[in-house]
Amino acid sequence: MRVLYLSTVKDPFEKLIYIRRKLEMNEKRLKTITASLGEGVFVINQHRHLTFINREGERLLGYQAHELFGKEIHSLIHGSKSGDNLHVSECPICKGVESKEAIRIDEDIFIHKSGRTFPVSYVVTPLIENNTIVGSVVVFQDISKQQEYLNRIKHQAYHHILTDLPNRLYFLEKLDEKIIKSDFNNEFALILLDIDDFKNINDSYGHKIGDIVLIEIARMLSSFYHHTFIAHMSSDEFAILMDGNKEEIREQAENIINHLHTSIPIEHNEVFISISIGICLFPYDGVNSEKLIQMADISLSEAKRLGKNRYIFYNDDLEYRRVRKNWIEQHLNNALFNNEITVHYQPIVNAKTKAIIGLEALARWYHPKEGAISPQEFIDVAESNGLIIPIGTYIVQMACQDLAELNKRGFENLFVSINLSLKQLKHPDFMPAVDQILQTYGLNAKQIQFEITETVTLQEDSDLIKTIGELKNKQFRIAIDDFGKGFSSIGYLKHISVDTLKIDKSYVFHVLSDEKIAKLTNAIIIMGQLLHLDIVVEGVETKEHLAFINRFSNILAQGYYFSRPLPLEEFIESSINRN
C-alpha cells in the first residue's frame, strides 16, 4: 500500500511541486532578466493571448500586466499608419505564431493605453516545443527618438542651414518629380533669383548683416508664395517652381522685382537691395532638369549683364549666344595654334597735343570661316575655361615683340599697355613668363603697363595685392581699367600703388547729355590728379568729347576720334603720315 502510495501519489506530487518551483524560479529569473532589459517584451500563446509582459513593456504600452493577461493583444495595441487598426492577416505578430522563423520589423505602430500611437521596431520569435509552435516572444522598442533624429538629419540634408528653405538637393528632386508629373501637359516656370551685388553687401556691412539680408529675402519670398516651392540654392541664389503660362509668370516676376527692390533696416543700417531673375518655361525651353536649370541660369546671367534689377525669359537671342559660346569654346584652343589670334594697337594720346605716348594692345581673333570674333566674347570664354593663361601669355609676348620692333624703328618713347585678367595675374607662371619675355626682347619694364579691371577683389585678395606690388617693384606701370564702370570702391587704392586711371568710356559718351555724369567725370579727374595719377579718358569719339576733357590739363585720351585699334604695320604707317 505504502509502495503504491509512494509511486502513485507522493512521488508524482513532489515531482509536480518540484517542477512548479522550478518553473516559478525560471519565471522569476525571466522576470528579473526581462525587467532589466531596456526593451519591451511580451509573450503570447498560440491563441495570441498574452501570457507575459515585462515592466518596460508595461511602461511603453501604458498598461499594467494584469490588464493584459489572457487578452488578445493584437486588437489592443497594434495600430497602423492610416490610423485604423491593422487587420490580423497583415499583423506580423499574429503571423509569428504560425511561422517557425523569427520576424524582424523595423518600423510599425503600437497604440498606448491612452490612445496615443508611437513608432516601434520589434522581433517576433516563435516558441517551439516538441516541434510545435506554442506561442511567440515579441521584443519591441519605442523608436520615436531615433525617428525624430533621422527626420532632423533628413531635414538638415534637404534644407538650407541659414534660411531653412529647401536646398539645391531638394530642389532638384522636386523639379524631377514635377517634370514627371506634368507629363508634358502642364506649363510651369523655373525662376532663378540672385541678389544684385550681394558680395558688396557682405563686404560693406559684414557677413552677419549679409546673412540677415538672406533670411529676410527668404521670409519675403515665402510670405508672397505660401504654396509655391521656393528653394535656397546657394549663397545668394534662390529658385521658385511656379505653375502658369508665360503671361502669368511675367506678372509674378514683375511683382517679385518690385517688391524686392527695397531697403531693409538692419542694426541702424539701411541695406538697399535689388534682385535679378532668369526664367525658363517647361516644356518649351527644356524637358529635363539639367537643361531647365542651364536655361534659367543663362537668362539670369543676361539679366545681370543688362544691368541687374530685372527679369529675363529665356529667348532665341540667348539661344543664339549659347550656341555661339559653345562654338567659341570648341574652337578657341585651335585658334591659338593656327595663329588666328593677333594683337591690334590703339594709340593713347596727350589730349592737348595729340602726341602718341602709348599703345593699348587689344586681342583680335579672325576665324577663316566665322570672321572676326570680338574679344568681349572670347576673352570671357577663355577666362572660364582657363585658356586665358596661354592666350594672355601669347598677347604679352606679341605686344613685347612689337614694342621691340617699334623701338627699333624709331618709336622709342612709347609704352605698351596690356590688358590682364585677374586669373592670369594670379597664375604662378605669370611672373616668370613676363620676366622671360622681357629678357628675350631686351625691354625696359618702364615701357610696359598692365591694365587691371577694377573689381572688389582688388581690395581683399592678398595674393593679388602682393603680385601687383611685385610688378611695381620691377618698375612695370599699373593702370586701373574701366574705372567707375561697375559698383566699385576706391578702397583698394590704399593697398596697391597705381600709375594710371582709365575712366570707362561710358562716362565720356554721356558727358554732353547728362549733367550728373559730367560732374562725376570732373570729380574723378580731379581725384585722380590729386593722387598724382595719369588719367586716360577712354572712348573719345568726337571733337566735342575732346573739348570737354581739354578743360583739364595733362589728360590722356584714347578713342576712335584719334584712331581705331590697328595692326602694327598700319599703326606705324598712320603715325608716320600723321607726323
Binding residues for ligand C2E (CB under 6 A): 346, 362-363, 374-376, 379, 392, 395, 419-421, 481-482, 505, 539-541, 558-560, 565
Cα distance between residue 370 and residue 363, in whole Å? 17
Spatial CA neighbour of 499 closest among 476, 473, 522: 476
Whether residue 283 has a cis bond before it, omega within 30° of 0: yes
Kindly tell me which of 127 and 422 has the beta carbon lying closer to ligand C2E. Answer: 422
Pick 326 or 374: Cβ nearer ligand C2E = 374
CA dist 45 and 186 (Å) reads 57
CA dist., res. 358 & res. 499, Å (int): 14
Looking at the Cβ atoms of 141 and 453, the one nearer to ligand C2E is: 453
Coil, strand or helix: which one is 477? strand
Closest contact distance (angstroms) between CB of 496 and Ca ion is 17
In angstroms, what is the minimal distance from the CB of 301 to ligand C2E?
Answer: 17
- Choose the stretch contacting Ca ion; rule: CB under 5 A; options: 46-54, 201-209, 444-452, 551-559: 444-452
Closer of 190 and 452 to Ca ion (Cβ)? 452
Cβ atoms 384, 393 nearer than 8 A:
no
Please name the residues in contact with 336: beta carbons below 8 A apart, sequence gap of 6 or more: 387, 390, 391, 394
Q: Does 482 bind Ca ion (CB under 5 A)?
A: yes
Give me the least distance between CB of 561 and ligand C2E, in Å please.
Answer: 7
How many chain residues touch Ca ion (CB under 5 A)? 5
The listed partner (ligand C2E, Ca ion, none) that binds 346, CB under 5 to 8 Å by sort, is ligand C2E
Query: 45 vs 342, which CB is nearer to ligand C2E?
Result: 342
Nearest distance in Å: CB 493, ligand C2E: 19
Q: Of ligand C2E, Ca ion, none, which one does residue 449 interact with (CB within 5 to 8 Å by kind)?
A: none
Of all residues in this chain, which one has the CB nearest to ligand C2E in the complex?
A: 559
> Are 403 and 416 in contact, with CB atoms under 8 Å apart?
yes
In the complex with ligand C2E, the residue whose CB is nearer, 119 or 358, is 358
Going by their DSSP bridges, the two strands 534-538 and 555-558 should be labelled as: parallel
- Minimum CB–partner distance for residue 540 and ligand C2E (Å): 6
Minimum distance from residue 505 beta carbon to Ca ion (Å):
7
Closer of 165 and 382 to ligand C2E (Cβ) = 382
Least distance between ligand C2E and beta carbon 539 (Å): 4
Q: Phi and psi dihedrals of 565, rounded to 5? A: -65, 135
Query: Judged by CB under 5 A, which stretch of 186-194, 202-210, 288-296, 535-543 contacts Ca ion?
Result: 535-543
Q: Which of 419, 424, 488, 521 binds Ca ion (CB under 5 A)?
A: 419
CB of 472 to ligand C2E, least distance (A): 19
Q: Which is nearer to ligand C2E, 48 or 545 (CB)?
A: 545
Query: Which lies closer to ligand C2E via its Cβ, residue 115 or residue 371?
Result: 371
* Interface pick for Ca ion out of 39, 142, 481, 534 (rule CB under 5 A): 481
* Contacts for 259 with CB less than 8 Å, ≥ 6 apart: 220, 224
Tell me the window of 262-270, 422-430, 480-488, 519-527 that interacts with Ca ion (CB under 5 A). 480-488
Joined together, the cell numbers standing for residue 131 give 516541434
Residue 363 binds which of Ca ion, ligand C2E, none (CB < 5-8 A, kind-dependent)? ligand C2E
Output DSSP code: residue 184: T
Q: Pick between residue 45 and residue 401 the one whose CB is nearest to ligand C2E.
A: 401
Distance from C-alpha of 344 to C-alpha of 365, rounded to nearest angstrom: 10
Contacts 24+ apart (CB under 8 A), 568-575: 568/343, 568/345, 568/402, 568/405, 568/406, 571/345, 571/347, 571/359, 572/406, 572/409, 572/411, 575/347, 575/356, 575/411
The 3-class secondary structure across 133-159, one letter per residue, is: EEEEEEEEEECHHHHHHHHHHHHHHHE
In angstroms, what is the minimal distance from the CB of 387 to ligand C2E?
Answer: 11
Q: By CB under 5 A, is residue 451 in contact with Ca ion? A: yes
Strand partners, 451: 419, 479
Q: Who's near 263: CB < 8 A, 6+ residues apart? A: 270, 271, 272, 273
Give the distance, in angstroms, between the CA of residue 42 and the centroid of all CA atoms in the same chain: 53
**Least distance (Å) from ligand C2E to the CB of residue 397?**
11
State the residues that interact with Ca ion by CB under 5 A.
419, 451, 481-482, 538
